[in-house]
Amino acid sequence: MPSPQDIPSRGSMERLLSTAGNDLIIAEFYVNWCGNCTKIAPAYEEMAQKYGNNAQFVKVDLDKTGDIHPEYGVTSTVSPTFVFIKNGVAIDRFQGSNARMLEAAIQRHV
């Protein structure tokens, strides 16, 4: 099963969106120095393994790709923000490091 794919640039995100078709994309917007982000990282990896056949899981490091997050409504760096994207449009958002709540959000969409 796949691991979350790193998105290193705006161009990478645009290519992913243009080739995703009707696939659900779950994007984690994070920073490496965020304690809550590192706390949920193993659970997000497990969810990518578990639900990877039903969605594409990606990670967007805000320190490297700071120009992407405003269009997805990501405003905080003290907690990870997960954005659910379908057909290029954000359809849902989850912020925080509660793995059970994140998985419930994923289950609503896959």
Give the residue numbers annotated as catalytic, written as ranges.
34, 37
Nearest to 58 by CA among 7, 101, 110: 7
DSSP per-residue string spanning the chain? -PPPEE--SHHHHHHHHHH-TT-EEEEEEE-TT-HHHHHHHHHHHHHHHHHTTTEEEEEEETTT-TTTGGGGT---SSS-EEEEEETTEEEEEEESS-HHHHHHHHHHH-
* Residue 94 Cα to chain centre, angstroms: 9
